[in-house]
Structure 1
Amino acid sequence: MTRHAVLDNKAHNDLRIRTDAAAELGDDIMATLTVPSEFRRVQAHFPILFRRETGRDDFTALAMFGFQNGENLFLEGTRWDAGYRPLSLAIGPFLIGRPAGGEGPGQVHIDMEHPRIAGGGEGVRLFDENGMATPYLDEIAERLGDLDEGYRESRAFYDALLAYDLLEPFSLEVTLDDGSVNSLVGFHIIDEAKLRALDAEALGALHAAGHVMPMFMALASLSQLSALVARKNRRLGGG
C-alpha cells in the first residue's frame, strides 16, 4: 500500500525518516532504476543492464544488486556495502509529483505508508523547529531533482540506442562454488561491436547529444558482473 501526500512543513513538521539500510526498509531488492546521467557513478559499483518495459517497446536501465528477486548482495544486515546508492533507491520515501493539471514545477511528495517513516523519536527530521528544511531534506530535494531531470533526458538516450540498433539481448548463467546455477535472463546490453563500428558522423552526433559517455559507462559496468558473482559466492560460503 502507498499513501502519497505533498510534503508540507506544517502537516509534516515533526516527521522523521530512517536513513539506515535494512531489508525491512525496502532495500532487499535485486535491482533499481538508474538513469544515464548517473551511469558514471553507478558503473564503479554495480552492473548496468537494460530491460524492456513489460508490454512496451521502451527500455529502462537497472543497477543490479543480485541474481533473484529479493536478493541484494550489497546489503549486509544494516550496512550498505558500496560507496554509492543509486538515486532511485536513495530518495525513499520521497518522489516527484506534479500538480493536478500536470503542468508546473515538480512537487516533493512523500509516501506516508513507506517503512522509512520513523516512529518513537527515531530517524532524521525533515524540518526544524521553525519549519525550515533541514540539510537532509535539502539533500533529498537535490537528489529528486537530479533523478527527475535524468529520467526526462533518458528518452533521447534510448531513442538513440534504438535508432542505431545498439542494444543486444544478454543473458548470464553462472555455476557457483556450491554447484548451484544462477541466471540473469531477459536483459539487454550495449552492443560494443556496433558502437565501435559507427562512422565519424554518427559518433559525432551521439557525442554532441551527450550519449557516448553513458554508453561506454554502461559497457564498463559489465566488469562488475564478476564482482557480483564473487559476492554471491561469499554469501553462500557465509563470508
Structure 2
Amino acid sequence: MAKLIELSINAHKNLKVTNDAMMSHASRQHVCNLQAQEIANAATCFPVFITRNSINGQLAVSAMMSFATQENLFVQDNSWHSVFQPTNFRTYPLYLMQSPENEKHFTIGFDQDSGHLSEEHGLALFTGDGKATPMLSEKTKLLEGELEQMRLTYAFTKMIDSLDLMKSVDLQVHYQSGEVGVIKGLQTIDEDKLQTISTDDLDKLRKAGYLAPIYAMLMSLFQINVLINKHNNLTTHTNIDTVKIEVSKDTTVS
C-alpha cells in the first residue's frame, strides 16, 4: 500500500501533476472501485460487481474494465473512451487520508512515489499567491464528499449482504485459441432471491433507495458484451468467443 504524504501549501507550493497522470494510472486498472451513488451511471458502461476482501471481509463495489490485470479497455491513445468516468480516477493522484495530527480528521494526501507529481512540469496545484488552482479545488471537493459516499456505500453493501442477496460467480473467458481463463472472487445480485424476498425486506430496500442500484447492477452484466467487443477490436489480443457467468463452486474468495 502506498504511503501517503499530507499535501501542504508550505511544503508543496511548487508541486505539479503530470499531464498524463490520470490516463497513465487508469490505463493499468482493470477494475475501479465505485461509490453507491455511481452504480447507476457506471452500469450503463461497465459490468459492476461486488468483491469481498479475503482478509477483513470488507465489501467493495467495482466496475470491471478488462479481462486482464494491468489493462483498461476504455483508455486508448491516452484518451478516455466512455461517457462515464469514476470519481476514483478523477481525483487521482490525490487521496483522502487520515490526518497525521488528528486521527479523527481527514485531509488530502498524495503518494510521492507515484511518478505523477513533479516540480518541473505539469499542472500546478497552487497558484503563485498560495491559493488552490481550479484543478486542485475540483479534486478536493470530490475527495471531501468521499467520506459520506463511503458511509453510504458501506450501508448499501451491508444491507444486501445481511439480506443474503448476493451470489458468488466466476467469469469463464473462452478464447478462440481454445484457452479458457477464469476470473474469480466476484459477487453479483442473486436475482432468484431478489424475486422471492419478503415484502418487509423489499420495503426496506425501497425506503433506503437501494432498488435502483440493485437493478442497475443486474443490468450491468450485459456490458460484458461491450468488453468483449473492445477486447476483440485490439489486434494485439487473442479474440474472445464468449464469456460465461457461472455460479462459483468455490466459496472461498481469492
Q: TM-score, normalising length from structure 2?
A: 0.84
In the TM superposition, 1:53-132 aligns within 5 A as 53-100=53-100, 101-104=102-105, 106-121=106-121, 123-132=122-131
Alignment partner of 1:128: what SS? Answer: coil
* Distance in 2 separating the partners of 1:180 and 1:124: 44
Q: Which residue of 2 aligns with 1:50?
A: 50
Q: Which residue of 1 aligns with 2:247?
A: none
Q: Which segments of 5 or more consecutive residues in structure 2 lack a partner in the other structure?
A: 240-254
Residue 48 of structure 1, CA deviation: 0.7
Residue 177 of structure 1, CA deviation: 4.5
Runs of 4+ in 1 over 6 A off after TM superposition: none
Alignment partner of 1:222: what SS? Answer: helix
* Distance in 1 separating the partners of 2:157 and 2:230: 30
* Distance in 1 separating the partners of 2:207 and 2:70: 39
Letter in 2 for 1:20: D
Deviations 1:72-119 (A, max 9, x none): 111213122222221222222111122344213x21112122122135
- When the two structures are aligned, how many residues end up with a matched partner? 237
Residue 28 of structure 1, CA deviation: 1.0
Alignment partner of 1:223: what SS? Answer: helix
* Distance in 1 separating the partners of 2:201 and 2:25: 45
* Distance in 2 separating the partners of 1:40 and 1:195: 18
1:9 to 1:88, Cα distance in 2 relative to 1, 3 A: same
Q: Which residue of 2 aligns with 1:235?
A: 234
* Distance in 1 separating the partners of 2:98 and 2:21: 29
Matched, 1:212 2:211: yes
Alignment partner of 2:153: what SS? Answer: helix
1:102 to 1:237, Cα distance in 2 relative to 1, 3 A: closer
Q: Which segments of 5 or more consecutive residues in structure 1 lack a partner in the other structure?
A: none
Contact 1:29–1:65 (CA<8 Å) still a contact in 2? yes
Matched, 1:156 2:155: yes
Q: Which residue of 1 aligns with 2:225?
A: 226
Alignment partner of 1:204: what SS? Answer: helix
Q: Which residue of 2 aligns with 1:30?
A: 30
Residue 27 of structure 1, CA deviation: 2.9
Contact 1:22–1:75 (CA<8 Å) still a contact in 2? no
Q: TM-score, normalising length from structure 1?
A: 0.88
Instruction: Give the fraction of aligned pairs with identical amino acids, expressed as a percent.
Output: 25
> Which segment drifts farther, 17-26 or 146-155?
17-26
Contact 2:21–2:93 (CA<8 Å) still a contact in 1? no
1:30 to 1:8, Cα distance in 2 relative to 1, 3 A: same
Residue 180 of structure 1, CA deviation: 4.2
Matched, 1:176 2:172: no
